[in-house]
Structure 1
Amino acid sequence: MSVMPADPHRPVAHLRPPRNWINDPNGLAFHDGHYHVCFQYNPYGPEHANMHWGHFRSPDLISWEELPVALTPTPGGEDADGCFSGNAVSDGDRMVAFYSAFRTDRWAQPVTTAESRDNGVTWTPRGSLLIPELPEGATMYRDPYVWREAGRWRMLVGSAQADGRAAALLYESGDLERWEYRGPFLDRAPQPVAPGADTGPGWECPQYLHADGRGALLLGAWDPELGPRRTVVYPGREQDGRFLPDAPALLDHGPDFYAPALLPAPDGRWLLWGWSWEARDAACVREAGWAGLLTLPREVTLAEDGSVRQRPAAELLALRDERALTAAGETAGTAELGTVRSSFDLTARLEPRAAGTAGGLRLVTSADGAEYLDISIDAAAGELVVDRDHASLDPRAHGGTYRLPCPEARAASGAPVELRLVVDRSVAELYLPSGRTLTLRFYPTGDTPWRIEARAGDEGRLGYAVGAWNLRPYAMRYATDAGAESTPTDAGLARH
């Protein structure tokens, strides 16, 4: 079992290995009584290179076991420069992983597979490409997503097209071996999706959520010059092998969320994990020796209006430890509500008492109050505003202000604002009853208990009811990492 030195920013209730780089969640499946969560992993350092698949499994989403590395590049093989993103399916007594084989060409990554017959402990690569040829017109091609529907296997692959359109390409199979190309499931020129964001000229990591004749296509907006941007979702429905979309939207409104992956649970739920990248300079990452984490598992559903709704998986309530604070009242200024540890789960109901006034919560992480994260109501815009400009006294940590649509926040609505905030040391995940979310990273330097404050807006009053629970860590069992510091023989190239 690995013993790591204390790191005040390393999360206790978010999945990641003890050290080194991780990014996209991959290989999500439920098999033989376990949830399996793989991820892009560099076992040699905290940089995006040498892509393997790391692997955790759990019977309950609370107790996790790190398994041996699932996928490793084969020297001289089709994946010699990296085993990139994809997914996995449970098929009888085996698991089959589908992934992007990276060899030399950064943009064209054909599909290959590996299989496990011992519940994910060991994997055998096929040694050849499953789909060796790219469809005509594809200039970028990667990240297969496979699922079973109506007695057949289906696959989406993300791509960029020579005509400037992004596309999710559809294949179908009866046996997971012979695949027929059906054409674009959806293709679109870049469309605006939020101020300063669009759907991108290419799509990575396609995922398809579907139920009762409706669906939602989750896509990583990718740009050949800028790399990964934001995750977008097209709600809609399928007709004759084509997806008929409604208007796109952001899946998560924060700056530090990308490449989510879906897992159909045995009880009928859809679960989702995303990658939350670092929001600190490379020097900080090198000093820490690790980069990236996976978000909390989220339950995702399709609302009647077609929107995708997210909330923390119900199992995570078991991580709540003693109740750290309970506070209710009203303030015309600042009310100190109590303290929490650096990992906590908070619920709040906020009611500005006068039209047009704002207010909100402040998480103060330093004794002198100079370091804090603000969540405030913009009553004019109908949004929650998350401000991390003062969230770290370390100048190498990133700042910025981010907005989460919250119609009930509008002054004219008269409705209280309810929210759930889960903070785990350096990651904050904000959830609204509407199912909208915002994920960001921040890096407090203070070592005192963190203080929760309710703060009224100018010339207004704020009613509040707040409860918070400190979080217990996941029950983690790490694999031995002998050899993790050795030098790889084939240095993979960064894809993003």
Structure 2
Amino acid sequence: MSVMPADAHLPVAHLRPSRNWINDPNGLAFHDGHYHVCFQYNPYGPEHANMHWGHFRSPDLISWEELPPALAPMPGGEDADGCFSGNAVSDGDRMIAFYSAFRTDRWAQPVTTAESRDNGVTWTQRGSLLIPELPDGTTMYRDPYVWREAGRWRMLVGSALADGRAAALLYESGHLEQWEYRGPFLDRAPQPVAPGADTGLGWECPQYLHADGRGAVILSAWDPELGPRRTVVYTGREQDGRFLAAAPALLDHGPDFYAPALLPAPDGRWLLWGWSWEARDPAWVREAGWAGLLTLPREVTLAEDGSVRQRPATELLALRDERAVTASGETAGTVVLGTVGPSFDLTARLEPRAAGTTGGLRLVTSADSAEYLDIKIDPAAGELVVDRDHASLDPRAHGGTYRVPCPEARAVSGAPVELRLVVDRSVAELYLPSGRTLTLRFYPTGGAPWRIEARAGGEGGLGYTVAAWNLRPYTMRYASDVSAEPALTDVSGVLR
């Protein structure tokens, strides 16, 4: 059955339990006819503590079932202080989860495993370490990613090295038990990746997408003082156990996206989920009783130009309900296009009529028009700008202006700007035809319906063609909430 949230900011088409804390997606696998999506989960409250693996599964990416937590810390065991991030593989009649065992030392988290033989309903944890010794020179070590390639099993582990490099370390195995360390698959000192941003002193959650001799290594940039920062991607190819990489790029240009994980689908697609954290003050989070969500599943491809491209999974078109907005025309000022509910899927084609035309779309979420989210064309920079400074009248919500490259927006291009925007109550995901994305959180205080406007400024008018559909919620069957008091170490505030 579908359960509609009472909280106006709790999403209906993004995966998360009905309450408590979640962060990184983990254990993504297709097994026995189901997509399995696990995630870092505190079943006792909305703080980063008591790390379990929560677990959803689905036959079609639309109908979801919440299973009991897949992994729980074992008192006195190697993972006594938390079952941290990793992935899972399908191997015959079993699923095997590889994960970071957290005990005392939050920076060094050796690899251990768990196994399920009933399609993820129950799991047996190993109880000992799979890889007990960390390579010399590592100062941070965590988050295994395992895959099968050319008849062998391979593993990347995220790390930071004592000499200042971040690294994804490579292991290989014939049968998932004994693993040979091959050395760094990719390593770099911090490199610029965007204005004011670099690739980090350490890498978490390494992921490897590969096809037709080419590949992309996805890495979550981490800093020992600041914690999680951003997600970057290196494209290139492998040679003799090393990844020969081009310049890095941001995987997502928004402020609220981190630790994505890949799932190789049975039809050959690569699917990706990310963690979208909260952008509101901790007191509000505690009041709400929940924190974090997983992004929409995204199809990820390697383009001929070497870029990584993302778009919402095709299956999500089935969530579109009746078309709420159908509008086309031209404006030199502001025009109301129609209204939508708080969860919707929008496509737009915007055509500036002159080189100096600015403007774009505004999502107005309050009756007095004081609360709104803007998506604006910057013709001088060739970017789309997403501005959430006025997106919530509650001062506990974070603001900020964020940019995603959009060469069509440049004044001299003369090309239309196309976009797809999926909004689900408190999360917005922007997708461009180039495959670039921008993810952010915002917290409207006004009630539905919300109003869509086209706005033009500067010289000339703005042509527009816009369609929007309200979203149906996922079909969701929730497990019972855990209510017992935890007997585990509280690591609140120790994000990663």
When normalised by structure 1's length, the TM-score is 0.99
How far off its partner does 1:486 sit? Answer: 2.4
Counterpart residue number, 1:334: 334
Q: Tell me, in whole angstroms, the C-alpha distance in 1 between the residues paired with 2:446 and 2:336.
A: 18
> Structure 2 unaligned runs (5+)?
none
Paired position in structure 2 for 1:163: 163
* 8 Å Cα contact 1:4-1:18 kept in structure 2: no
| 1:458 positional shift | 2.2
The structural deviation recorded for 1:357 is: 1.7
Cross-structure match for 1:15: 15
Which residue of structure 1 lines up, in the alignment, with residue 317 of structure 2?
Answer: 317
Name the structure 1 match of 2:486: 488
Match runs of 1:373-452 below 5 Å: 373-452=373-452
Asked if 1:93 corresponds to 2:100, the answer is no
Q: Secondary structure of 2:176's match?
A: coil
Counterparts of 2:11 and 2:495, CA distance in 1: 26
Contact 2:228 2:495 in 1 (8 A): no
Give the alignment of 1:16-415 within 5 angstroms: 16-415=16-415
Counterpart amino acid of 1:135?
P
How much does 1:5 deviate? 5.9
Return the alpha-carbon distance in structure 2 between the equivalents of residues 488 and 106 of structure 1.
19
Q: Distance in 1 between matches of 2:333 and 2:358?
A: 11
Query: Contact (CA 8 Å) 2:340, 2:448: kept in 1 or not?
Result: no
CA deviation profile, 1:70-116 (whole Å, cap 9, x unmatched): 00000000000000000000000000000000000010000000000
State whether residues 106 and 495 of structure 1, in contact with CA within 8 Å, keep that contact through their aligned partners in structure 2. Answer: no
Task: Report Cα offsets for 1:349-388 as digits up to 9, x if no partner.
Answer: 0001011221100000000000000000000000000000
- Aligned-residue offset at 1:28: 0.1
- AA at the equivalent of 2:294: L
The worse-fitting range, judged by mean Cα deviation, of 423-432 and 451-460 is: 451-460
Q: Alignment RMSD, CA only?
A: 1.0
Contact 2:4 2:12 in 1 (8 A): no
Q: Percent identity?
A: 89
- Equivalent AA in structure 1 for residue 276 of structure 2: S
Structure 1 segments, 4+ long, off by >3 Å, are: 1-5
For residues 340 and 388 of structure 2, the distance between their equivalents in structure 1, rounded to whole angstroms, comes to 19
Displacement after TM superposition at 1:480 (Å): 1.4
User: Is the CA contact (8 Å cut-off) linking 1:29 and 1:37 kept in structure 2?
Assistant: yes
Q: Measure, in 2, the Cα distance between the counterparts of 1:3 and 1:269.
A: 30
Q: Which residue of 2 aligns with 1:465?
A: 465
How far 1:4 moved relative to its partner? 7.5
Q: Distance in 1 between matches of 2:153 and 2:490?
A: 31
AA aligned opposite 2:443: Y
- The question of whether the paired residues in 1 share the 8 Å contact of 2:78 and 2:129 is answered with yes
CA contact (8 A) 1:82 1:492 kept: no
Could you tell me how far apart the structure 1 residues matched to 2:385 and 2:460 are?
18
In structure 2, what is the Cα distance between the partners aligned to 1:236 and 1:2?
Answer: 43
The question of whether the paired residues in 1 share the 8 Å contact of 2:2 and 2:475 is answered with no
Superposition deviation, residue 205 in structure 1: 0.2
CA apart distance, 1:492 = 4.1
CA distance in 1 between partners of 2:50 and 2:428 (Å): 29
TM-score, L = length of structure 2:
0.99
Q: Which amino acid aligns with 1:485?
A: S
Letter in 1 for 2:489: A
Does structure 1 retain, via aligned residues, the 8 Å contact 2:362–2:453?
Answer: yes
Structure 1 segments unaligned to the other structure (5+ residues): none
Q: What do residues 275-332 of structure 1 show as CA deviations (whole Å, max 9, x unaligned)?
A: 0000000011011100000000000000011110000000000000000010000000
CA distance, structure 1, for counterparts of residue 2 and residue 269 of structure 2: 33
